[in-house]
Structure 1
Amino acid sequence: MTRINGFTALRLLAAVLVIFTHSYSLGGAVEDPFMATVGLVPASTLGVDAFFAISGFLICGSLMRQPQIGRFLAARALRILPALVVLLLVTVFVMGPLVTTAADYWERPLTFQYLLNGLLFVWRPFLPGVFEAATTTPVVNGSLWTLPMEAICYLVLALMAWCGSFNRRGLFALTLGGYLFFVLGAFHKDFILFNYAGGLIAEHLMRFVALFGGGALIRMLEAPRALSGPATLAAGALVVLAFLLGQIDWRFFPYLYLLAWPWFVVGLAFRLKALAGLDRFDVSYGLYLYAFPVQQVIVQAAGGSMPQLLLFAASLALTLVPATLSWFLVERPMLRLKPGRPDPRLTDPAGNAASSVGAFAIGRGGG
């Protein structure tokens, strides 16, 4: 499949949607306009779901090109963990001391326990005296909860490759399993799959597995017609229909949405080839990582609340600074260390090595 696509553009849009919703929840504890209109999901859900669908497509392609499991996992770790670790260090050693109200910030074990978030499957959301007076939530970075979900999706693909089920039937079973478990409500909304600090809610994981698996299945099928303009329009129409049916009964919504959303997102990426140049400046992961604490700082400085659209504009502009630094100083150098053949997005359209490029692992994405 062509390497000239709009995946980076869609990831950037997805990150902006997450920032948009958080601007309303943090700025005034209200629903964003999209949620207020459709009453089904906030804009951030569309963004996060797009991340997982794109991630499934790209990560599946990565494993198909590089079937050695060790190299596959090393590449995934290099894409997600270095930027995350730097974020945590900046949060604890720079932001925390500047905004904390705790005189014993450095003496509290909780301060350094926050760094355990870098293990992915440990959830330490608080820092001493940091945002404790917030009117919405004292959580320092509410965006990190999706990262262990994505890591599980990566591990599932690696396990499938190891046991010989990384094929069309295997991915179809994975997607169908996640889909059925979610839409049929197999897990109680409070059921925690893994008993780590903070918990990993099974219902959310099943939704992400369905979306990630859907993206991966599309890649494995390698059917150009499935990504054609008419197919993309049809998938988009099904997404709209899902929202319309959801107005009649919200339970109808996920049945169509979970099936159509990955096809629409992936197909749309191949309709946005004109935006492929954004691959050289992929700040989507950095935006996703840094936006929430930046928004918390802005709201605290404003006295606990502020106009949501103003918070959205200010936080987006300010977050571009650490996101850009993260891309050029951390993420892009780490991509060059990935084992095996270079990432396709490290080449220009002609296939030659590029001096500056773009890629993104999630979820929060894939790459």
Structure 2
Amino acid sequence: MRSFGDVLDKNNGVGPGFDFARVFLALSVLLWHVLLMSRGNYEPLISTPAWIYNYSILPMFFGLSGFLVAGSAQRNSLTVFAVNRGIRIFPALIVEIALSALILGPIFTAYPLTEYFTHPTLYVYFLNMIALVNFKLPGVFLNNPGGQVVNGSLWTVPFEFLCYFVMAFIIVKKIINKPKALLITAFAVMFLATVAQALAHMLPQSFYVEKILNAYIHSGKGPALLPCFLLGAAAFSLRYKIPMDWRLFAGSLLVVLLAGIFFEPASWENTFLVVIFAPVLIYIVCYVGLLQIPRLPYFSKGDYSYGIYLYGFPIQQALVASSEYFKNSWLLLIASVITTVAFASFSWHCIEKPILGQRKKVTAWFTGWKAKEQPASSAA
């Protein structure tokens, strides 16, 4: 029977369905946020077994990321890995935060512009660029059903950074090709995350503690993301031992459906429970990523998934704030998909792709700088 590794080898190391999987997950986030923006909650779907679809999106996203990033970590040095991750994440993130603060905010704020631009909340918002999450801009979206949050999707940014820091540690310790060590690391992190989740309420309250809790706990969902990422990385290391079997795929879908029937959304905020189900979710998304799925006509022009994820939330909030018509969920869905994909296209073609095109030059510069510094460090 073919394995995940066999399929990757046949396709020169590229999963033919991974582009589809990324876009599908990004659009799934957009779909669920429509309910929050238009209704102020996730009803009526959250009260049905469909809730599991919503709560599985991010564990699958992080598991898929771990699977793909592990390949890069095996091929590259720590310096190259860090540079590649940095230029993939930061440029689009910085531009989105700047556009929200300097263009979207002034358009939709209820405050006079002089007050908006002198308000401390505006400048605190830029801390999102360094993974200190802040959701609000002064006077923006005061009357939206979804609340005053400008971009709720940013809550996952600290976890993404954390995943890359841990992967850097794994590269340094040379355990990227050791599946057992990766699995032990994943379950150790799960244990620590579960403990942190349980003890979070016991910490003394302060501005900085609140920032850390908002960043790394976030309603109980966050601590499971790093273990899912590491399990995805372990799956890549075990790729020649994981069968590409439609029966396992169908069985995994059935397990998820049963979880949706027999569990409730509140139970999914338990890190331990999510990680128990994580291997099933990771198998599903990796199986889809390795299928021969033709690229969608428009989406074949670039990787728009990151832009969709970044821009979807603020665009939906802006649409709802601009017209009462967009409190209709279907109208909001159609308008937000079109607008968000347009902004994601802008992000890819004008920011992400051009900067990624300079990756070799940036990597060479960092590698050369490190080589020049090395003798001085050794002499010292």
Interval of TM-score (by shorter of Structure 1 and Structure 2) = 0.7 to 0.9
Rounded Cα–Cα distance in structure 2 between residues aligned with 1:79 and 1:259:
27
1:115 equivalent among 109, 122, 126 = 126
Change (3 A) 1:71 1:272: same
Change (3 A) 1:148 1:298: same
State the secondary structure of the residue aligned to 2:69: helix
Deviation at 1:181, TM superposition (A): 5.6
Partner of 1:51: 61
Rounded Cα–Cα distance in structure 2 between residues aligned with 1:39 and 1:229:
22
CA RMSD for the aligned pairs? 3.0
Change (3 A) 1:236 1:69: same
Partner of 2:171: 161
Partner of 2:117: 106
Change (3 A) 1:279 1:61: farther
Moved more, 206-215 or 300-309: 300-309
Partner of 1:235: 252
Rounded Cα–Cα distance in structure 1 between residues aligned with 2:237 and 2:249:
17
Deviations 1:20-41 (A, max 9, x none): 1111111111324442211754
Equivalent residue letter for 1:12: V
Partner of 2:42: 31
CA contact (8 A) 1:179 1:210 kept: yes
Change (3 A) 1:223 1:192: farther
Partner of 1:11: 22
State the secondary structure of the residue aligned to 2:83: helix
Equivalent residue letter for 2:256: V
Change (3 A) 1:279 1:304: closer
Partner of 2:96: 87
Deviation at 1:204, TM superposition (A): 3.1
The correspondence of residues 83-232 of structure 1 with structure 2, limited to 5 A, is 83-103=92-112, 104-120=115-131, 122-166=132-176, 167-180=178-191, 187-188=197-198, 191=201, 195=209, 197=211, 199-202=214-217, 203-223=220-240, 225-232=242-249
Moved more, 163-172 or 327-336: 163-172
Change (3 A) 1:181 1:107: closer
State the secondary structure of the residue aligned to 2:42: coil
The TM-score, its normalising length taken from structure 2, stands at: 0.79
Rounded Cα–Cα distance in structure 1 between residues aligned with 2:174 and 2:202:
29
2:280 equivalent among 260, 265, 269 = 260
Change (3 A) 1:106 1:159: same
Rounded Cα–Cα distance in structure 1 between residues aligned with 2:210 and 2:173:
27
Rounded Cα–Cα distance in structure 2 between residues aligned with 1:147 and 1:179:
19
Deviation at 1:313, TM superposition (A): 1.4
Deviation at 1:222, TM superposition (A): 2.5
Rounded Cα–Cα distance in structure 2 between residues aligned with 1:246 and 1:230:
24
Rounded Cα–Cα distance in structure 2 between residues aligned with 1:189 and 1:21:
30
Rounded Cα–Cα distance in structure 1 between residues aligned with 2:262 and 2:54:
20
Change (3 A) 1:37 1:62: same
**Structure with more of its chain in helix, by fraction:** 2
Rounded Cα–Cα distance in structure 2 between residues aligned with 1:255 and 1:111:
37
Unaligned runs of 5+ in 2: 1-7, 364-380
Equivalent residue letter for 2:279: L
Partner of 1:323: 344
Deviations 1:327-354 (A, max 9, x none): 1111112222334999xxxxxxxxxxxx
Equivalent residue letter for 1:163: K
State the secondary structure of the residue aligned to 2:243: helix
Deviation at 1:164, TM superposition (A): 3.0
Deviations 1:147-201 (A, max 9, x none): 110110111011122123332122111222344566x776228559983636334
**Number of matched pairs:** 338
Unaligned runs of 5+ in 1: 343-367
Rounded Cα–Cα distance in structure 1 between residues aligned with 2:196 and 2:130:
28
Change (3 A) 1:212 1:340: farther
Change (3 A) 1:39 1:178: farther
**% same residue:** 26
Equivalent residue letter for 1:322: F
